[in-house]
Amino acid sequence: MRMTSMTDAIKPEVLAPAGDRERLEAALLYGADAVYLSGTRFGMRRAPANFTEDELRYAVDACHRAGRRVYVTCNILPRNNEMEDLPPYLELLDDIGVDAVIAADPGVMALAKRYAPHCELHVSTQLGVVNYVTAQTLYDLGASRVVLARELSLDEIAEIRAKTSRELELEAFIHGAMCMAYSGRCLLSTYLTGRDGNHGDCAQSCRWGYYLVEPTRPNQPLTIVEEQGETHLLNAYDMCMLEHIPALCRAGVSSFKIEGRAKAAFYVAGITNAYRQAVDGYVASGFSADYRVPDWLREEPTKVSHRPYGTGFYFGMPEQNTATNSYIRTYQATAVVTGYENGRLLLSQRNRFFKGDTLEVLLPGESPLALTVTELYDGEGEPIDSAPHPTMALQLPYDRPLPLGCYLRRKADD
């Protein structure tokens, strides 16, 4: 078995989530090397629209025309009544050219090898790979990649890399919401609400505030802090590893996975763009261990809706965000570019903004660009002072075209 070392220079894949067509197109525009998505069944996220058969065909075609890869999740823990429907679905994925199937259940893995032989097999984080023996065994059984358990440290990942076949790819989550049951298989939502998290229908019960009740005083719930308020015992920080790309690469992570198939396209755009530019900067530095992301890029993850950020288990035990379940929203998407005619950007509104506002253009592969709204027109070309209606057509004078699908944003408190 060939070994690798922590110092091997490997350009990691930037892997972005796609919950629907709009989010897929945002991921591709802003530089994802690959996307992961789901059909309408068998995936661990029910909240997004996901992809019908025709939409799956479109997604594969769009990704391949752009030179990118597409992975489809089949990572639920299926029950007996679902097994008969899996072979034809896997045959469909094989037929349309999906690059990999992501599975967590050994039975699904076996079916994928049989009915989707041209698709790579990626083992989901739901399986909980935490050691090199399991990783190597999965490779020996036909997996080309394992998505590592989120409770691993960088030192543990480095040991897995050193003691497994070099051809085995290691994927790890590097950004997004963290579940208290880090590698999954949580039953809290099922117990409290009847919604099965292992079938993609989690009620996020770990984000709720809880009280203590003393048996002799059942009508006097007590907070677990001295001051007034709630305590969110199980609520994890979001993860952000943007400033630790050299350490991730030295540990042997070959695919950087961004969480967020249920997040908005604006989130996918901003976070994918941030990691794309950070990875490219690291490569341009000659894989320098001293590489640091520039200040403006360090701010990019704060410009999407997020909880307080941490680094998960990578550098030791993570903190829990017990004080609040609130999101931080400092910026909001204002519009999406749909075209350019006669010296004007054609836009579709996403949130209200006004003439006189200073916006930022979220440019793929570049730092954000300031844009002051000195004139604003509706879709018919009539002058207006504000854009108050969702998805309304707009025209905005500008000196050059911008990429279709490009986002404009503004400070939320302006």
Percent of the chain with pLDDT over 90: 71
Q: Which among 58, 76, 46 has a CA at the least distance from the CA of 22?
A: 58
**Two tokens, residue 99:** 């690059």
Tens of pLDDT, residue by residue over 310-344, are: 998 899 876 666 566 677 889 999 999 999 999 99
Q: In whole angstroms, how far apart are CA 123 and each of 24, 187, 268, 394, 402?
A: 22, 21, 23, 45, 39
Largest separation between any pair of C-alpha atoms in the chain: 75
CA distance 300 to 272: 10
pLDDT at 209: 76
pLDDT of 183 > 80? The answer is no
Q: Work out the mean pLDDT of the chain and round it to a whole number.
A: 90
Q: Which among 359, 352, 351, 349 has a CA at the least distance from the CA of 395?
A: 349
Q: DSSP string spanning 134-195?
A: HHHHHHHTT-SEEE--TT--HHHHHHHHHTS-TTSEEEEEEEE---TTTTS---HHHHHHS-
pLDDT at 83: 94
- Where do we find the tokens 């990875």? 279
In terms of DSSP H, where are the helices of 238-323? 245-251, 265-284, 295-298
Average pLDDT estimate for 35-50? 82
Q: What residue ranges define each of the domains in the chain, with the CATH number in brackets?
A: 13-181+236-310 (3.20.20.70), 331-411 (2.40.30.10)
Average pLDDT estimate for 251-269? 95
pLDDT of 202 > 90? The answer is no
Question: Considering the entire predicted model, what is its pTM?
Answer: 0.87
Average pLDDT estimate for 280-299? 96
CA 153 to chain centre: 20
Tens of pLDDT, residue by residue over 123-173, are: 999 899 999 999 999 999 999 999 999 889 999 999 999 999 999 999 999
